[in-house]
Structure 1
Amino acid sequence: MAWTARNIPDQSGRTAVVTGANSGIGFVTARELARRGARVVLACRSEERGRQARERLVSELPEAGERTELRRLDLGDLASVSAFAKELPDERLDLLVNNAGVMALPYRRTADGFETQFGVNHLGHFALTGLLLERLLAAPAPRVVTVASSLHFLANIDIGDLNGEHTYRRWIAYARSKTANLLFTHELARRMAGTPLVAAAAHPGYASTNLQTAGVRMEGRKAAERVVHVGNRMVAQPAEAGALPTLYAATEPGVAPDSFTGPRILAWRGAPAPSWRAPWTRSDAAAERLWAASEQLTGVSYGAPA
């Protein structure tokens, strides 16, 4: 029988942070966790869009009003990441869903000078996870779920050009940032061996969200934006379905460390199932090199592996 949101176990007493919870699969993830009783922090870059998302969530689930809160988090600004971690209540954290991301943008830099896709999709979440790790390890069964993409197979990371300064192609840069997500999960799982923390990854397949249109909208390419909208309507699965692999990885008992969950049918759509991943995303050597570079670039150190 196919796994659906109705299969999510009771989350009462658990606290979750969901990045990018103002729209798409992040919003659905936050809502369904709250529906099952979790206290959910909606971590959003835009306070206005975050406020609207929380209002929508509470309108759909009035009983979740006291269990949901909005906090500002800009993953493209390490000062914002640090402030978010410091201002979060000093209590245990059961679940961190590293969901926020950008896709196929023209070349831009974050507030700290990193190429935006690498900076937001990987470095921001790397720093956030490290700053929240103590709270996570205070929980009895913590999880970190990082949302990657099936498109990671387009490119391995280039450890000598992480910020795309030598060459930049937007889809290759996106793929490299998603490979970085999987290498991060691989190394975090290795480092957390012997602790109760489970580091897992998921991807939504092709889900209709705002992610696909951001790049062409930034460039004012109206015709391309219309084409993307048509593709989303005709081919993509809805965000409700796209969020299921994330929710499965976040809540299903027995999820294995370093697992990768995606849609069952051609990694495109359908119920959650184990997903294929490129062999380079399980490279210990590459994961260690990326980890060392990430600590240096962000200034966030996780300390020695367990």
Structure 2
Amino acid sequence: MGLAWSLLDQCYPPASRWTVDDVPDMTGIVAIVTGGNSGIGFETCRVLLEKNARVYMASRSKTKAEGAIVDLRRLTGKEALFLSLDLADLRSIKSSVEAFKSREKELHILFNNAGVMFPPLGQLTADGYDLQFGTNVLGHFYLTRLLLPILLYTARTSLEKKARIVTLSSIGAELHKCIEWDTLKDGAARRKKFNIELYCQSKFGNAVFAQELARKYGEDGIVATAINPGNINTDLLRYLPWFLSAPARYFLYTPPTGALTPLWAGTSPEGSEFNGKFLIPWARFGPPPHDSDDPVLGEKLWDWMEAQVKGL
């Protein structure tokens, strides 16, 4: 009954008491938004630009990003900056971070927003991982890990004495209670799974990662949160068959609404105290998904991910 109520509460949340009008002036703030060319990421970029932040749109497709940057310029009069990033290719992530560090000495907010949902089972990352776990979890882990030195520097030297990492999970995390290690790379165990199971596992993994990040670096000024942004009508639905996606759109919310909770975590003054919290729609605290706050599991996932990127 507890799970059923939690799912219902998150699918049909009460009106938000916090709005984008509450976002403070962000002059001098540097932010990266992965997957910022569409959906929740686009709306996150839009609000940050309107509030005078310096925004890097980290995207795989330069063409799509350039189109989104033009749209943002029209909407805000401000210019987002393109950062080439392919989370499904670990070696390219290192190049992206080096490109960013050549331009900036500080990073105040990292929005780990990008993701993939329900792709065909045959799709893998460049390194042979399940596309959903490899992109949503491992890719963001490696990006975050490489950016940690500049985030920690920012936390030490900024006025707030904090740097924030906002990782998007999903209500799907509530539906998966463990990590099945033999499904993270391609193999017989993975091929027996449905893509929806693998998606929920990746979103559970996002929550586990954020909790471990909070434990490891909270005392150093890192504020790590995991977010269920809500059930939002975005391009993530592109892999759903039409007979599911068409009716589903009538029960979904808009991207500006989906950006509320990540922006609350990333920009609000009170958000500097949110380390280790799991946030749910709209701009509320919720209980972390089952066992995602288990320190033993968190350490095991962190060690596994460290092993995957060793030597890159």
TM over 0.5: yes
What's the CA shift for 1:258?
1.2
What's the CA shift for 1:157?
1.2
What's the CA shift for 1:132?
0.6
Q: 2:275 corresponds to which residue?
A: 257
Structure 2: distance between partners of 1:193 and 1:71: 27
Paired residues for 1:145-224 under 5 Å: 145-155=166-176, 156-163=178-185, 165=187, 166=189, 167-213=192-238, 215-216=239-240, 224=241
Q: Which amino acid aligns with 1:131?
A: L
- The answer to whether the 8 A contact 2:26-2:51 is kept is yes
Structure 1: distance between partners of 2:52 and 2:228: 24
User: Match of 1:280, SS?
Assistant: coil
User: Match of 2:181, SS?
Assistant: coil
Q: 2:3 corresponds to which residue?
A: none
Percent identity between matched residues is 34
Q: 1:101 aligns with which of 107, 115, 118?
A: 115
Instruction: Pick the structure with more helix per residue.
Output: 2
What's the CA shift for 1:164?
5.7
- The answer to whether the 8 A contact 1:11-1:38 is kept is yes
- Given the two structures, how large is their TM-score scaled by the length of structure 2? 0.87
Q: 1:219 corresponds to which residue?
A: none
Q: Output the aligned Cα RMSD.
A: 1.5
Structure 2: distance between partners of 1:201 and 1:45: 23
Structure 2: distance between partners of 1:300 and 1:258: 29
What's the CA shift for 1:72?
1.1
Q: 1:266 corresponds to which residue?
A: none
- The answer to whether the 8 A contact 2:218-2:224 is kept is no
Q: 2:9 corresponds to which residue?
A: none
- Indicate yes or no: 2:139 matched with 1:124: yes
Q: 1:76 corresponds to which residue?
A: 88
Q: 2:288 aligns with which of 277, 280, 287?
A: 277
User: Match of 1:281, SS?
Assistant: coil
- Given the two structures, how large is their TM-score scaled by the length of structure 1? 0.88
Q: 2:253 corresponds to which residue?
A: 237
What's the CA shift for 1:252?
1.5
What's the CA shift for 1:231?
2.0
Unpaired runs of at least 5, structure 1: 217-223, 264-270, 302-306
Structure 2: distance between partners of 1:231 and 1:158: 29
- The answer to whether the 8 A contact 1:150-1:277 is kept is no
The superposition leaves residues 191-238 of structure 1 with CA deviations (integer Å, 9 ceiling, x where unpaired) of 11321110111122111101012x24xxxxxxx225413421x11110
Q: Which amino acid aligns with 1:174?
A: Y
The superposition leaves residues 127-172 of structure 1 with CA deviations (integer Å, 9 ceiling, x where unpaired) of 0001111111111221000000011121121134323631321111
Unpaired runs of at least 5, structure 2: 1-15
Q: Which amino acid aligns with 1:82?
A: K
- The answer to whether the 8 A contact 1:18-1:41 is kept is yes
Residue 115 and residue 3 in structure 1: after superposition, are their counterparts in 2 closer, same or farther (change >3 A)? same
- The answer to whether the 8 A contact 1:44-1:70 is kept is yes
